Chain A
Amino acid sequence: MSITTMLSGRGAQAPAAPKTDVALDLRNVQKTYDTPGRPHVEAIRNLDFQVRRGELVCVVGPSGAGKTTLLRSIAGLLDVTAGEVVLDGTTVTGPPEGMAVVFQEYGRSLFPWMTVRQNIELPLKEKGIPKAERREKVDRALEEVSLSEAAEQHPWQLSGGMQQRVAIARAIAFEPTVLLMDEPFAAVDAQTRAELEDLVRSLWKHLGVTVLFVTHDIDEAVYLGERVIVLSNRPTVLMEDVKVDLPPERDQLTTRSDPRFGELRGHVYELIQRAKRGERPDETAAVDKGV
């Protein structure tokens, strides 16, 4: 009997997962907040897209579009109202293993009672990595975000941009298979920002990690991503899934002056403008409802 269930189980699963290279699969995800103070806020109306293993996907959308909501749902920190988030073939019901999240509230995500080093080290301790190796990983991560000299300081002694880099260092030292980042470069200066963008690109290439990167910066989205997911305003649906057909080797100077970069950037800009005006792909449905 167990054999038959196993077989039939496998048989039932086979057509559902022909593409094993899908890391993240959002199936008609919907999220409506129902907090006592603010009942019934429909944040995400319907999102249905996939992210391949080892892909770097950027998410842009107007402020309040539900980008953070989407990320928290994927991170297993928020229950979706309908639909499901599937990661590596299993439905996400809690924080998945091997995922690191850089929160939008980077400053508040660092433990103020620990030094920078201890903050980065804690998840590694949990992984059971021996002490010497932990030290080495922390040092390397700090070096990558150019913060080596701040290792023994406390987060509150650092500037906002430095705190953000600590949060990033903690995520990369963890060596995740999936990395979610919510506007991680919002508080850093332009120079550091360019460096960190290249860092994310190079880490992504070396580690083969799947990255979902939320940003409000259109240039950044096009520069970093292989795809840019453009969201409508709230209640959110997919505006457009823009494929970034730029060469894989990117460089701050040449890539940004590539005519194709300009076209893509213009296209995404246009989409965002339309999203902000309240235009949406399901417009007819919205109009029907409104009238």
Chain B
Amino acid sequence: MIRFLKATGYVLGLPVILLTAWWFGSANSTSPFWPPLSTIIETFPSTWTWDRIVGDVFPSLARLGIGFGLAVVVGIVLGTAIGLSPTLRALSEPVLEFFRAVPPPVLVPIIALFAGYTGWLGKIVTIALGCLWPILLNTVEGVRGLEPVLGDTAKSYHLSPWRRLVFVVLPGASPRIFTGARQSLSIGVILMVISELFGANRGLGAAIVQFQRSFAIPQMWTGVIVLGLIGVLLATLFKVVENRMLAWYVGQRQIERGA
């Protein structure tokens, strides 16, 4: 129980301090760009009505989910293939290095040309492409870094290619795949917002920009807060999935460190 309180204390400590600082720091602010936190919180319920959540937040999250999901699937499939095949690796290495060096937001105008930016397609493609590289590159490394003795074991027991993939290669690469996916998720959130800044749109990012353009500054700040909360929520969800799937890895690491 005491341990639990301590843990919650650590998690909530800094946010509480920051919020308090914001609250008092902004309390007497008259600057229109820095409204007092109390004003921001007052406008919160009237701004984030259920209609707005359904109309702006859900579509944004759906696009993020689809784009990120596509990136995970394509990244793992391609990454495993490249990691397992030296030929494929030699062929794709320069291309991968090139795309890795291109900052994802640069993709936006290019994709706008081809897919247009009014519908969902262009946005999803942007998110998926941005999320793809960390997952892909980490999967390649994870597959290549597999313990050679495990590969020999799989070979000498004649595991079929399918079993080797499912029981040996993918679990072995999973710690790296998760590292890549975590990077991708934060890139995805950024691209979710950026992809809504072009053209007339609905969505969380679009809403924030519209508030700003119409000088609804407290409302704009509430949007930023919502975005931050979504980030926290996604990170927590990710952690839960990771702890479940990588329990063996976490346990192994703890024992290795302890020894």
A interface residue numbers (CB < 8 A to B): 72, 75-77, 94-95, 97, 99-101, 103, 105, 108-109, 111-114, 122-123, 125-126, 154, 156-157, 174
**For residue A113, which residues in chain B have a CB less than 8 angstroms away from its CB?**
171-172, 174, 248-249
Given A77-B155, A77-B156, A100-B156, check contact A126 B163 (CB 8 Å): yes
**For residue B256, which residues in chain A have a CB less than 8 angstroms away from its CB?**
156
Instruction: Kindly identify, within residues 115 to 164 of chain B, every residue whose CB is under 8 Å from any CB belonging to chain A.
Output: 147, 149-150, 152-153, 155-160, 163
B255 contacts A by Cβ under 8 Å: yes
Shortest distance in angstroms between A24's beta carbon and chain B's nearest beta carbon?
Answer: 15
Instruction: Kindly identify, within residues 97 to 114 of chain B, every residue whose CB is under 8 Å from any CB belonging to chain A.
Output: none
A123-B249 Cα distance, complex, nearest whole Å = 23
Instruction: Kindly count the residue-residue contacts between A and B in the assembled complex, taking CB atoms under 8 Å apart.
Output: 68
**For residue A77, which residues in chain B have a CB less than 8 angstroms away from its CB?**
152, 155-156
B interface residue numbers (CB < 8 A to A): 147, 149-150, 152-153, 155-160, 163, 167-168, 171-172, 174, 248-249, 251-252, 255-256
A156-B150 Cα distance, complex, nearest whole Å = 14
Contact among A97, A109, A154 for B153, CB-based, below 8 A: A109
Shortest distance in angstroms between A264's beta carbon and chain B's nearest beta carbon?
Answer: 32
In the complex, the 7 A-B pairs of residues with the closest C-beta atoms, listed nearest first: A123-B157, A113-B171, A156-B252, A108-B149, A113-B248, A95-B156, A109-B149
Ordered by A's residue number, 11 sampled pairs between the chains whose C-beta atoms are within 8 Å are: A75-B152, A76-B156, A77-B155, A101-B152, A105-B149, A108-B147, A109-B149, A112-B248, A112-B249, A126-B163, A156-B256
Verify A122–B157 contact, CB threshold 8 A. yes
Shortest distance in angstroms between A155's beta carbon and chain B's nearest beta carbon?
Answer: 9
Query: At the interface, is chain B mostly helix, strand, loop or mixed?
Result: helix
**For residue B251, which residues in chain A have a CB less than 8 angstroms away from its CB?**
154, 156-157
Verify A103–B149 contact, CB threshold 8 A. yes
B170 to chain A: closest residue by CB: A113
A239-B159 Cα distance, complex, nearest whole Å = 37
Verify A126–B149 contact, CB threshold 8 A. no
Verify B255–A156 contact, CB threshold 8 A. yes
A290-B149 Cα distance, complex, nearest whole Å = 37
Most central of B149, B157, B163, B168 by chain A CB within 10 Å: B157
Verify B159–A122 contact, CB threshold 8 A. yes
**For residue B255, which residues in chain A have a CB less than 8 angstroms away from its CB?**
156-157
A112-B71 Cα distance, complex, nearest whole Å = 27
A266-B255 Cα distance, complex, nearest whole Å = 43
**For residue A76, which residues in chain B have a CB less than 8 angstroms away from its CB?**
155-156
A139-B157 Cα distance, complex, nearest whole Å = 19
A128-B171 Cα distance, complex, nearest whole Å = 22
B252 to chain A: closest residue by CB: A156
Shortest distance in angstroms between A77's beta carbon and chain B's nearest beta carbon?
Answer: 5
B256 to chain A: closest residue by CB: A156
Verify B156–A126 contact, CB threshold 8 A. no
Verify A126–B150 contact, CB threshold 8 A. no
19 further A-B pairs in the complex, CB-CB below 8 A; given A125-B163, A174-B157: A72-B152, A76-B155, A94-B155, A95-B156, A100-B157, A101-B152, A103-B152, A103-B153, A108-B150, A109-B150, A111-B167, A111-B168, A113-B171, A113-B249, A114-B167, A123-B157, A126-B157, A126-B158, A157-B251
Shortest distance in angstroms between A105's beta carbon and chain B's nearest beta carbon?
Answer: 5
Contact among B150, B158, B160 for A111, CB-based, below 8 A: B150
Shortest distance in angstroms between A233's beta carbon and chain B's nearest beta carbon?
Answer: 25
Shortest distance in angstroms between A160's beta carbon and chain B's nearest beta carbon?
Answer: 11
A283-B203 Cα distance, complex, nearest whole Å = 83
A115 to chain B: closest residue by CB: B248
A94-B172 Cα distance, complex, nearest whole Å = 23
Given A112-B248, A122-B163, A154-B251, check contact A95 B150 (CB 8 Å): no
Verify B248–A154 contact, CB threshold 8 A. yes
**For residue A112, which residues in chain B have a CB less than 8 angstroms away from its CB?**
248-249, 252
**For residue B163, which residues in chain A have a CB less than 8 angstroms away from its CB?**
122, 125-126
**For residue A123, which residues in chain B have a CB less than 8 angstroms away from its CB?**
157-159
